[in-house]
A = this chain, B = another copy of it.
Amino acid sequence: MNQDRPTKKTTIYDLAELAGTSASAVSAVLNGNWKKRRISSQLAEKITRLAEEQGYAINMQASLLRREKSKIIGMIVPKYDNRYFGSIVETFETMARERGLFPIITCTRRDPELEVEAARTMLSYQVEWLVSTGATDPDRISDICGAAGVGSLNLDLPGTKAPSVISDNFTGARELTRRILVNSERKLGAARPLLFIGGRGSDHNTAERVRGFRAAHADIGIPVDERHILTCGYAPEKAEMSLQALAMAEREVPSGMFVNSTISLEGVMRWIKRSGHYVDHSPVMGCFDWDPFAALLGDEIEMVRQDVQGMLNAVFEVIDHGARGASLIEIPPVFVDSNYALINDPMV
């Protein structure tokens, strides 16, 4: 507040001088360790008041240098452009703070180089744990952390060198597919094979979801058309182009779709709108992820919401109790009734 020379920050030495005591006393008081060092409550109060008056803020760099633990926890996240990652970040921050940890988060924009650079930077800041969310090469990051004796954890996409917390993609996709097929049957009279679109065939989650997709078709005994499994990447344009190419190649347009992410769904919806193929009969749809506006699109679109709270509970379970194997923890996703989807959004 009443700081006259804003250039230099108040230190515990300044406070000690003002209070006519020593820096160690100030430190003890300000850290609440003063019951142990039976400091007179009078002195304690004086110090506290002075600190307040001077707008004192501890220098964490100095404090952490001296301490053994940094209480800093890092997370890298690919993007901030959808509800899923947004919710992960927000929940992570909250849970970290609840534990007295200081979260630092950085967005690596799906760039492998940035990922490792970010990991190194976080190590420089002495993070005690690093959570890699949706990382392209999680094992690389685990190696870097491992070399520095820092724990790492994978979220959303699994790795083999650290505990991984992911959605139960297989079961979720199987159930989502089942629901779309049921809607297809209700709407079209008979269940017809669906199209799968979005994601990279090489990534674990997409592979598992394709497996669930196949299983659900097998469950009711209808065949999957291999040309209708379009793991074309995540970007909206990729999805749009794939569908366009498919429509050009075939005379019929898909009557139902399993869309692998909201980001792919953007491209799918755009194509549906622009192509003009569906003016009277919109396709039966499902999306492995959730978005409030997408929920309002078209007649009805089944959506799975990944259980972010559940996943982060598992993450902090590991952190709190320090397990370090390369276990794979799969969290069942949640199916939302589209009418209640918005109401139940924990982020609103």
A residues in contact (CB < 8 Å) with B: 1, 3, 6-9, 55, 57-62, 64-65, 70, 79-81, 83, 85-87, 89-90, 93-94, 102-107, 109, 120-121, 123-126, 143-144, 146-149, 235-237, 262-263, 265-267, 269-270, 273-274, 291-294, 296-297, 339, 342-343, 345, 347-348
Q: Whole-angstrom distance from the CB of A219 to the nearest CB of chain B? A: 31
With A80-B86, A107-B93 in contact, is A61–B125 under 8 Å at CB? Answer: yes
How far is it, in angstroms, between the C-alpha of A266 and the C-alpha of B80 when the chains are bound?
A: 19
How far is it, in angstroms, between the C-alpha of A263 and the C-alpha of B83 when the chains are bound?
A: 12
Q: Which of B7, B85, B124, B342 contacts A58 (CB 8 A)?
A: B124
Q: Which of B149, B262, B342 contacts A236 (CB 8 A)?
A: B342
Q: Which of B7, B80, B149, B270 contacts A90 (CB 8 A)?
A: B80
Q: Whole-angstrom distance from the CB of A337 to the nearest CB of chain B? A: 13
Residues of chain B within 8 A (CB-CB) of A125 are 60-61, 102
Q: Whole-angstrom distance from the CB of A250 to the nearest CB of chain B? A: 24
Residues of chain B within 8 A (CB-CB) of A266 are 292-293, 342, 348
CB-based nearest B residue for A125: B60
Q: Do B342 and A147 touch (CB < 8 A)?
A: no
Residues of chain B within 8 A (CB-CB) of A59 are 65, 124, 126
With A148-B55, A293-B293 in contact, is A106–B107 under 8 Å at CB? Answer: no
How far is it, in angstroms, between the C-alpha of A291 and the C-alpha of B265 when the chains are bound?
A: 13
Q: Whole-angstrom distance from the CB of A244 to the nearest CB of chain B? A: 14
Q: Whole-angstrom distance from the CB of A257 to the nearest CB of chain B? A: 15
CB-based nearest B residue for A57: B123
Q: Do B293 and A9 touch (CB < 8 A)?
A: no
Residues of chain B within 8 A (CB-CB) of A106 are 93, 103
How far is it, in angstroms, between the C-alpha of A237 and the C-alpha of B340 when the chains are bound?
A: 12
How far is it, in angstroms, between the C-alpha of A81 and the C-alpha of B235 when the chains are bound?
A: 20
Q: Whole-angstrom distance from the CB of A273 to the nearest CB of chain B? A: 6
